[in-house]
Amino acid sequence: YVTGYRRTETGAASCGSSLIAPNVVLTAAHCIGSLNFVSIGSHYRSGTKDGERIKVKQAIKHPKYNAATTSHDFAILILEKPSKFPPVEVSFDTVAPGTPTIVRGWGRTSSGGVTSEVLLEVGVDSISNDQCAKLLTGYTVNEAMLCAGGKLGEDSCQGDSGGPLTVETNGTAKLVGVVSWGIGCAQQDKPGVYSRISIARDFIEPYITTSPTAVPITTNVPTAAPTTAPTAAPITSSAPTAAPITTIPTVAPITTTVAPTDAPTTVSPSKCGGCTRCFYPTLNHCFPPAYTQTICATYASLGAYWCGN
């Protein structure tokens, strides 16, 4: 589901993004401009070695996006055709301070440094908006933002804007934030700032549930209204173009296309990684409940199989 946002079909990704329905991608509003293609299912920042590339048909910024403060930094990309890769589950729940989150991207591995040619990931813990505002004095931190990180050498950086911030449980990733902005990269006590997905349900959810080829990938109703205790977000530069970095970067699992197989059948629990629904072993991903056995069969060509009863 991690998606590169490119100027040309084979060129390098300038921003990150996330596949949230077969023909819908979520990114940052400040990334919208001269970028025209997305790469999906690719391990690489550029080229055609794996994954697929699809032209963007339409880009829609959040109506409340404010370029001056980078508030409501969301944009929807409508693709010319559906992707063959499974989308990420979108969560509209709030995330408590201290929640472990993961950010992924191809951005710089240090402030002003070189970009990564392969997809990297780093873990960052969420912090409250109150704490974030104190650490980022002089900058706007509002209810549409969530902060994470603040540890030396662990952050997002330039080039990761628009990319995913996820909470992951039992192998299932849930999208809770979009890389937005920050002060430099990976500085001590300078957390990254993300666009908080729980604040943008009215904008995002219709594109998930009405996507013409999408299985609805909705999540639980938020347990509480967004407060000043948001979810986490990696640091970027003062010109918001963040990208995850880490002192010991690990490669995020992205795969190439798998040869078609038979429709998924029930398999041994030992092969399901604890998943009791549709399981995608290559990415160790357990699909959300909306993916029935019949729907799971449509992903058999990617190696998915059914782990339910």
Q: Each residue of 205-214: pLDDT tens digit?
A: 999 986 554 4
Q: What is the pLDDT of residue 113?
A: 87
Is 72 known to be catalytic?
Answer: no
From 17, 42, 111, 161, active-site residue: 161
* C-alpha distance from residue 116 to each of 64, 206, 246, 292, 306 (Å): 32, 34, 11, 37, 35
- HSE-up of residue 161 (Cα within 13 Å, Cβ side): 24
Taking the model in full, what pTM does it have? 0.70
Please state, for a pLDDT cut of 70, what percent of the chain lies above it.
74
Q: Give the tokens for residue 282.
A: 């290559």
Of residues 219 and 76, more confidently modeled? 76
Q: What is the mean pLDDT of residues 35-61?
A: 95
Q: What pLDDT, on the 0 to 100 scale, is given for residue 268?
A: 61
Which residues pair with residue 123 across a beta bridge?
A: 102
Domains of the chain: 2-79 (2.40.10.10), 89-251 (2.40.10.10), 269-306 (no CATH)
> What DSSP designation does 171 have?
T
Higher pLDDT, 279 or 106: 106
Q: Which of 14, 17, 30, 156 is catalytic?
A: 30
Q: What single letter denotes the amino acid at residue 189? A: D
pLDDT above 90: percentage of residues in the chain: 62
- Among 158-167, 216-225, 298-307, the range of highest mean pLDDT: 158-167
Q: In degrees, to the nearest 5, what angle opens at C-alpha 63 toward C-alphas 61 and 65?
A: 70
Task: Write down the catalytic residue from 17, 42, 43, 73.
Answer: 73
pLDDT for residue 134 is more than 70: yes
Specify whether 125 is catalytic.
Answer: no
User: Using 50, 70 and 90 to split pLDDT, how confident is the model at 259?
Assistant: very low
* Confidence at 236, pLDDT banded by 50, 70, 90: very low
Using alpha carbons, select from 118, 132, 119, 108 the residue that is nearest to residue 231. Answer: 132
Asked if 130 contacts 142 with a C-beta cutoff of 8 angstroms, the reply is: no
- In whole angstroms, how far apart are CA 77 and each of 19, 44, 102, 205? 9, 20, 23, 13
What is the model's pLDDT at position 308?
83
Mean pLDDT in residue range 175-201: 96
- Report pLDDT for 57: 96
Q: Mean of the pLDDT values across residues 123-139? A: 96
> Average pLDDT of the chain?
81
Work out the average pLDDT over 273-290.
70
> H or E segment at 131?
helix 129-135
Q: Is the pLDDT of residue 159 over 80?
A: yes
161 is catalytic: yes
Residue 250 confidence (pLDDT) above 50: no
* Strand-pair category, 154-155 with 245-246: antiparallel
Strands 172-181 and 89-90: parallel
